[in-house]
Amino acid sequence: MFKSSSALASFSIFKPPQGDRFEGARGIPARNPAVPCAVGVANPSVSFWRSEAASRFVGCPTLPLSHTPSLQLIESTVRSTAGITRTAGILLYPIRYNNCMRSRYGFWTVLIGVLLWGTTALAQTPLDDYFQRPEPAYRWEKRDAKRVGNTTVYTLFMISQTWQGIDWDHSVQIFYPDNPRFPHFAALLNTGGNPSAGNEALGALLATQTGVPFVILYNIPKQPLFGGLTEDALIVYTWQKFLQTNDPTWPLHFPMAKAVLKCMDTVQAFLRQEGKKVPQQFMVTGASKRGWTAWLVGASRDKRVAGIAPMVIDVLNLPAQVPHHLEFYKGVPSEEIGDYVAGGMLQQLNTPAGRKLVELEDPYSYRERYTMPKLIINGTNDRYWAQDALNLYWDGLPEPKWVLYVPNSGHGLEDRPRVYATMSAFIRTLAQGKRLPTMRWELKETPEGLEITAFSTPPAKEARLWFTTSLNHDFRDSKWTWRPMERTPDGWRGFLARPRQGHAVGYAELVFEQDGQTYTLTTQLRIIGAQP
């Protein structure tokens, strides 16, 4: 959402899930993970697509595919509870009628549940309409080429689209390493502002570290607009325009995300023109509102998007985040979201029109689409969000997914080496068609404190328990420290005792090595109260 406080935050940084089972509503493993019934048709956290009958069926242990897996594509008009009518192309799997269906809920209940499960992932939404809209103004041209480090930097000018009668113009820089290891793959950072020496040093560094062309797209969003509005004030203005007009093209993140997709077109066309190998896949990243943009790019269903790495946008699942934020900070919103408070957005999001806006804008509305690898990067001291905001949406995101908490860092992710190391590992792994280590963890609260266990494949080199305390449940200014975790036969274990007063919070950080370079991944964090 929200404004970026530093160069990194302004640098606003296909394979399906490989898990061998899905968990049913009562923890019953499904025998066929390709079948939607076991995914959770109506998880209680789902805000907009629900079916009681379908949710009761989720625990059914078996819903096998027919041995003749022909598919039918049927067009169905589906109306969400938020009031937006969608025309959905729904994949209907031929299903064998089995005892579970017969004895408990009936064939048609099962069929309806399968259809409803597919609506969010397959339905045509206003976001899709906006992405697919022709853009006659789109064009690009080469402006410059120079050397930075061990890369050649090409600077392009691009007009991505016309939005609300305004042409969006951007600078695009492509950092092409001298000897690219993976020229078929590119990383794309969307950010604000214009090219600078700092961003050029960053682009050259990451291109060299990863061996892929590294792209920086600037002026996301185009600003100032509408009388000098920028950043969060500009977003609030566009949200208010949607509430007034019901025009789904108004929310600002739509053109921000489309600009990224048009940038991919530009990079491919330019490198083809230069006689270089054309990247067929992209990893997309950005921070703050540009992290929000990365999420929506991931929802585009564009097969070029091989992975996303949203940074410091810890606000998915807005209907749950807003009340949690207010409760977490004792009814006083963070000073960093002042534009949203002044614009009345915290209240308006809970109106019928506001719920329509949430369905359009909230990346969590599209979560079934996020089947690509996802690396979520957050700062432990980010002043915008509740420290445990990730816990309101993590379980709802499909695999594969990883999280990196950056200790003692705020919205600007000040510990840059830690961020760059993990980001580089993520890019290199995707470029090789591989995955980061598989991680599992448990954060178990006991009368004495918090037990943290973490496991990974392959095993981590070492593990650290990061923790801090606060007297008033506000950790934004807290100093985080760490101690080694204990190695167990199959992983790592740590314990955080309850404080005598106030609250404590902790998480595990695992250290890995790739191509001779170390990087870290973390667990979720958990807050515990004082001793009774």
- CATH number of the domain residue 470 falls in: 2.60.40.10
Task: Give CA 63 to chain center in angstroms.
Answer: 30
442 in Cβ contact with 462 (< 8 Å): no
Residue 214 domain boundaries: 142-233+255-305
Report if residue 296 sits inside a domain: yes
Strand order in the sheet with 449-457: 438-445, 449-457, 491-497, 486-488
Where is the domain boundary, 244, 273, 305?
305
Q: What is the CATH number of the domain that holds 293?
A: 3.40.50.1820
Residue 119: predicted pLDDT: 53
Domain count for the chain, please give it.
2
Q: How far apart are CA 479 and CA 500, in angstroms?
A: 18
Report if residue 173 sits inside a domain: yes
For residue 347, how many C-alpha atoms fall within 13 Å in the half-sphere facing its CB? 4
Q: How far apart are CA 364 and CA 49, in angstroms?
A: 12
For residue 245, how many C-alpha atoms fall within 13 Å in the half-sphere facing its CB? 12
Rg from Cα positions in the chain = 23
Report if residue 23 sits inside a domain: no
Q: How far apart are CA 102 and CA 95, in angstroms?
A: 13
In which residue ranges of the chain is pLDDT below 70? 1-121
H or E stretch including 514?
strand 503-514
Task: Characterise 468 by phi-psi region: left (phi > 0), alpha (psi -120 to 50), beta (else).
Answer: beta
Q: How buried is 106 (Cβ within 10 angstroms: 0-12 exposed, 13-18 middle, 19+ buried)? A: middle
Task: Give CA 373 to chain center in angstroms.
Answer: 10
Residue 121: predicted pLDDT: 63
Report if residue 513 sits inside a domain: yes
DSSP symbol at 102: I
pTM of the complete model: 0.80
Where is the domain boundary, 305, 328, 345?
305
Q: How buried is 168 (Cβ within 10 angstroms: 0-12 exposed, 13-18 middle, 19+ buried)? A: buried
Report if residue 341 sits inside a domain: no
Report if residue 226 sits inside a domain: yes
Determine the number of helices (DSSP H) and then strands (DSSP E) in the chain: 14, 21
Residue 40: predicted pLDDT: 30
Q: How buried is 381 (Cβ within 10 angstroms: 0-12 exposed, 13-18 middle, 19+ buried)? A: buried
**Whether the bond into 221 is cis, omega within 30 of 0:** yes
Where is the domain boundary, 246, 271, 305?
305
Helix/strand/coil percent split, the chain, to 5: 30, 30, 40
pLDDT one-digit tens code per residue, 462-482:
999 999 999 998 999 999 999
The pairing of strands 185-190 and 166-177 is: unpaired
Report if residue 84 sits inside a domain: no
Asked if residue 298 and residue 152 are part of one domain, the reply reads yes
Report if residue 479 sits inside a domain: yes
Asked if residue 301 and residue 442 are part of one domain, the reply reads no
Residue 12: predicted pLDDT: 31
